[in-house]
Amino acid sequence: MTLVLDGAAMARELLNELRGRVAQLAQRGIRPGLATVVVGDNPASKVYVRNKMRSCGDVGVHAEVRQLPGDASQADVLQTVEALNARTDIHGMIVQLPLPRAIDAQRVLQAIAVKKDVDGFNWANLGALVDGHPSLAPCTPLGVMRMLDRARLPVEGRHAVIIGRSSIVGKPLALMLIARGATVTVCNSKTRDLAAFTRSADILVAAAGRAKLVTADMVQDGAVVIDVGINRLPDGKLAGDVDYEAVKSKASAITPVPGGVGPMTVAMLVANTVSAAERLNPS
């Protein structure tokens, strides 16, 4: 029987656990606050932002959106970030990606105060992760690790193969898996004979953004398959990077899309915000 890793249920559990920490902060008059900076009008971003706001609200975390017009200048965006850096009632800040082309995304991301960088994209936070001392780490890889742990799926000594080397998913996830004793292979669009690598994976993570990239013949019997991909199909439906039905019959555990890594990413963002509020207000 294949274990379907229900990310929505795991995310609810995680959010429930956060309530206690939020209540403890409330006793000291602190309400964790998350600000999301949005530039322009991207329909996909709207859905993500709404989900994040809802999850924050569910556990008593304040969430607000700073919406800037699509033609906002670099200086406007940086000023908004600086203003949020200075606010004591905001403990976490994210800038919704993608930003319009005219804005230098790296400059904006690096302007977020390190202690409020709940997406974990600041070089200081990424550097801490490289060195094995993470403070605020990227939410999607954190969500993947949490799913493996919740399902008691062992990592140590396993061969983990990650398809995708982005700074948001593939690279930080590789670091987290290495820290836990996995042997890690990171593939990318230039990898020759991708299937030769994926077939030797005990844990296979697909984060390429290519619908049905991973077919059943690319997966070893009994592998754990984590699908990070979110692709909009021509019929409007969402699909991951994995050919779910075919791969499910070979995998020992698999995440669905939607309802897998996505909700866990949002839950980890709320968790990072609560952690940031605790660290900014040590008792």
Q: How far is the CB of 282 from ligand NAD (least distance, A)?
A: 30
Q: How far is the CB of 82 from ligand NAD (least distance, A)?
A: 26
In the complex with ligand NAD, which residue's Cβ is closer, 55 or 265? 265
| DSSP state letters, 84-148 | HHH-TT--EEEEPSSPPTTS-HHHHHHHS-GGGBTT--SHHHHHHHHTT--SS--HHHHHHHHHH
- What is the closest distance, in whole angstroms, from the C-beta atom of residue 157 to ligand NAD in the complex? 25
Annotated catalytic residue: which of 6, 116, 117, 119?
A: 119
Identify the DSSP state of 260. Answer: S
The residue among 55 and 140 lying less far from ligand NAD, judged by its C-beta, is 140
Contact residue for ligand NAD among 60, 100, 154, 209 (CB under 6 A): 209
CB neighbourhood size of 58 (10 A): 15
Q: Is 15 in the site for ligand NAD (CB under 6 A)?
A: no
Among 120, 229, 244, 253, binds ligand NAD (CB under 6 A): 229
Q: Whole-number minimum distance, CB 114 to ligand NAD, in Å?
A: 21
Q: Which of residues 31 and 50 has its CB atom nearest to ligand NAD in the complex? A: 50
Residue with Cβ nearer ligand NAD (119 or 202): 119
| Structural Rg of the chain based on CA atoms | 19
**96 counts as catalytic:** yes
In Å, the largest CA–CA distance within the chain is: 56
Report the alpha-carbon distance of residue 107 to residue 95 in Å, rounded: 11
**How many residues form the binding site for ligand NAD (CB under 6 A)?**
25
Q: Is 119 among the catalytic positions? A: yes
Tokens of 129: 């992760």
Question: Using CA atoms, how far apart are residues 70 and 222, in angstroms rounded to an integer?
Answer: 47
Site string for ligand NAD, 235-264 (x = CB under 6 A): --------------------------xx--
Q: Which is nearer to ligand NAD, 33 or 229 (CB)?
A: 229
**Per annotation, catalytic residue among 6, 52, 116, 171:** 52
Q: Which long-range contacts (CB under 8 A, 24 or more apart) does 43-49 make?
A: 44/232, 45/96, 48/96, 48/266, 49/96
CA separation for the pair 151, 278 (Å, rounded): 27
Under the binding rule (CB under 6 A), the answer on residue 185 touching ligand NAD is: no
Q: Which residues, 93 to 152, sit near ligand NAD by CB under 6 A?
A: 140
Of 96, 116, 117, 171, which is the active-site residue?
A: 96
Q: Which residues, 6+ apart, have CB-to-CB distance to 21 below 8 Å?
A: 274, 278
Query: Does residue number 228 form part of the binding site for ligand NAD (CB under 6 A)?
Result: yes
Beta strands 238-239 and 159-163, pairing class: unpaired
Given the rule CB under 6 A, which residues bind ligand NAD? Answer: 140, 163-166, 168-170, 187-189, 191, 194, 207-210, 213, 228-231, 261-262, 265
Q: Residues with catalytic annotation?
A: 52, 96, 119
